[in-house]
Chains A and B, each alone.
Chain A
Amino acid sequence: MTGELVEVTVDRPAAGTPAPAAKPPLWQRFLRGAPPYLYLTPAIVLLVVWTYRPLAQTFQLSFHSWNLLPTSPVTEVGFANYERLLDTPDLGAALWRTVVVILGMLPFTLVIPVLVGLLSRRVRGRVGAAYRAMVFAPMLVAPVAGAAVWQWLLDPTGGVVDKVIGSPINWLHEAGPAQIAIIVITGWHIVGFAVLVVSAGLTGINPDYSAAAEVDGASRAQVTRWITLPLLSPTMAFLVLMTVLLSAQWTFPLIDTLTQGGPVGATTNIYYLLWDYGFHSYDAGLGAAAGVLFFVGFVVLAAGLVLVSDRLSTHDD
């Protein structure tokens, strides 16, 4: 976007240098071209050292066997880690649980926000701002603090939730309820953010379209179905992409503090599995192989989603 704006060029290292008529000597051209690279250096160095180097090393490590101890040898094992990974039932199960988490998150990141956004379009001004402030508050709660308060709310002996529904469900220690609890807590954290994104998206829609349709006799429902929702589709695509890519990440601190992946692995999703391989089983090669597979999978998934959403989205041009 805004590609043509790049024309601004402060293309001289020290201003005041008169522009030479002939082709300047090599070192001068070099100096003149240097500034943008110099400004970029700190950020790029950090990216290379802390993101891309480790990514490459993870790739390399996935063909080796190592138990993380500096003294013990790193041996090359070819594709053995990948074979081991695909042989264990853990991976498939964790993948499936990740899918469940993503699907379970969609009501919080898409359905509720869109419904609330559509129904509350007319609530504006100070009152609207107050609502938004309240809805957004959970986003600011540190994940561990959120985990602590939900552990208390869900406690089978003294927690509010069980007292209100009147049956002592041990939420965090039974397989099904634990997964539901993790999804709901994550949803609670994120729903306010999604509501605000939708309301920003609705604000960006030019009201002339619906006004014109109403003049033509379209009902409110028709306007919503055929004008508002299609124009909101880029926002919705963004929310879906965010949910798919980040849901499992968001659940990680909750799983780590509340269930440690249990009971009997019921809340172990792929990220927790990666963590587990690396830092509980000390199986660096296996963890790296899993990491590489997930990275590739996510790149493919993200690219696919971007393509699909570009196809399906209606843009207001």
Chain B
Amino acid sequence: MTATIEPTVHEDQVVDHPAAADEPVGHRGRGVVGHVVLAVLSLACLFPIYWLYATSLRAPEDVYSLSVLPWPLSLDNYADAFAKTDMVRMLVNTTVVAVLTALGQLLTGLLAAYAFAAWRFRFQKLLYLMFVGTWLVPFQVTMLPNYVLLSQLSLLNTLAGVIVPTLCSALGVLLLRQHLMGFPKELLEAARMDGRSSWGILWTVVVPTLRPVLAALGILLVITAWNEYFWPAMVLQRSNGMVQLGLRSFMGTEGNDWGPLMAAAGLTCLPIFLLYLVLQRHIVNAFVRSGLK
């Protein structure tokens, strides 16, 4: 029946599939079912997010209203959230931490992946397994000794203490290695014949070619770092240096002041959602690819 030649699935279109053009008429119904199922699931997934922003935009006296549309709109809750917490400083701190963490992870990951892809060396397998093995070590198992070390280095309660221990991302190393393995060897060989050092080749040949991958991975790492909760909570000892922690203490003290709480939670997620709106496709693909390894 179908003699479609299946194109090799390119990673950038993980979730797209060439539509079967010669779909029999009887299968039309299945398309409708698919839409209904996806629509229901989408609604269920989006509703809490919608309600978060809807509540935050209601006037303070309407917070308990169940009307679907928040009307009249009001920014009072946001003003309240800014007045009660040091939202600006927390957002700046979190941005600094997320960006520096992601950049550091990209750099260490790139160097390590380059080593794995461009050389054969003794203990290669063992060193590789050291990266894979980190997935079996839960955070909670290593937290006590790390906490002690940070306090010995007097990095507790500093942003550096949040950043430094997370600067190596095993996921980053493995993903970049995968991509470098598929790197055209002729390019490396040619550059080497030109007399360039391996360091020069890395920055003039490998990095420019790998830019889209590095960008996608970078976004993924920024989002992960932004949403990280455990480690900052421990290092900053429940102070309010970063948005996640500020939000948490807000929940404790103002538990029933829903309007400002939703405004603060909305602000916490806003930068990530804006990033998502702009780069939606890339982000989804980066996440899925990371899951599939």
Contact B34 A119 (CB under 8 A): yes
Contact B46 A134 (CB under 8 A): yes
- Residues of A close to B27: CB separation below 8 A: 122
A298 within 8 A of B: yes
Q: Which of A68, A138, A200 contacts B15 (CB 8 A)?
A: A200
**Considering the chains assembled together, what is the distance between the CA atoms of A16 and B198 in angstroms?**
12
Contact B127 A40 (CB under 8 A): yes
Residues in B109-147 with C-beta less than 8 Å from chain A: 109, 111-112, 114-122, 124, 127, 130-131, 134-146
Contact flag A200-B144 (CB < 8 Å), given A46-B167, A122-B30: no
Select from chain B the residue with minimum beta-carbon distance to A52. B130
Contact A8 B117 (CB under 8 A): yes
Contact A54 B195 (CB under 8 A): no
A147 within 8 A of B: yes
Residues in B27-48 with C-beta less than 8 Å from chain A: 27, 30-31, 33-35, 37-39, 41-42, 44-46, 48
Contact B48 A295 (CB under 8 A): no
Q: Chain A, interface size: which category?
A: 35 or more
Q: Which of B64, B143, B192, B258 contacts A12 (CB 8 A)?
A: B192
A151 within 8 A of B: yes
- Residues of A close to B121: CB separation below 8 A: 33, 36-37
- Residues of A close to B66: CB separation below 8 A: 160, 163
For the complex formed, measure the closest distance between the CB of B248 and the CB atoms of chain A, giving whole angstroms: 5
Contact B198 A10 (CB under 8 A): yes
For the complex formed, measure the closest distance between the CB of B1 and the CB atoms of chain A, giving whole angstroms: 6
Decide if the interface of chain A is mainly helix, strand, loop or mixed: helix
Contact A134 B4 (CB under 8 A): no
B9 within 8 A of A: yes
Select from chain A the residue with minimum beta-carbon distance to B134. A51
Binds B, one of A83-91, A99-107, A175-183, A205-213: A205-213
**Considering the chains assembled together, what is the distance between the CA atoms of A155 and B51 in angstroms?**
13
Residues in B213-256 with C-beta less than 8 Å from chain A: 223, 226-227, 229-230, 233-234, 243-245, 247-248, 250-251, 255-256
Tell which of B48, B135, B167, B194 has the most Cβ of chain A within 10 Å: B48
Residues in A35-53 with C-beta less than 8 Å from chain B: 35-40, 42-44, 46-47, 49-53
- Residues of B close to A116: CB separation below 8 A: 37-38, 41
Q: Which of A51, A193, A197, A299 contacts B142 (CB 8 A)?
A: A51
For the complex formed, measure the closest distance between the CB of A19 and the CB atoms of chain B, giving whole angstroms: 12
B25 within 8 A of A: no
Decide if the interface of chain B is mainly helix, strand, loop or mixed: helix
A22 within 8 A of B: no
- Residues of A close to B288: CB separation below 8 A: 193, 196-197, 200
Count residues of B near A (Cβ-Cβ below 8 Å): 123
- Residues of B close to A145: CB separation below 8 A: 52, 244, 247, 265-266, 268-269
B284 within 8 A of A: yes
- Residues of B close to A158: CB separation below 8 A: 63-64, 258
A125 within 8 A of B: yes
A288 within 8 A of B: yes
Q: Which of B2, B124, B188, B261 contacts A10 (CB 8 A)?
A: B188
Contact flag A278-B143 (CB < 8 Å), given A10-B198, A42-B168, A142-B244: yes
**Considering the chains assembled together, what is the distance between the CA atoms of A9 and B118 in angstroms?**
5
For the complex formed, measure the closest distance between the CB of B198 and the CB atoms of chain A, giving whole angstroms: 5
For the complex formed, measure the closest distance between the CB of B275 and the CB atoms of chain A, giving whole angstroms: 9
- Residues of A close to B17: CB separation below 8 A: 121, 124, 202-203
- Residues of A close to B276: CB separation below 8 A: 133, 137, 140
Contact A47 B287 (CB under 8 A): no
Contact flag A152-B262 (CB < 8 Å), given A142-B268, A204-B9: yes
Q: A9-B120, A160-B66, A196-B284 are in contact. List 5 more A-B contacts (CB 8 A).
A: A149-B51, A152-B51, A193-B291, A197-B291, A203-B17
25 contacts between A and B (CB under 8 A): A5-B185, A6-B120, A9-B118, A10-B118, A15-B198, A36-B118, A51-B134, A54-B145, A61-B145, A122-B31, A123-B34, A131-B39, A133-B276, A134-B46, A137-B45, A138-B48, A140-B223, A142-B226, A144-B247, A144-B248, A145-B268, A207-B4, A207-B6, A214-B1, A291-B144
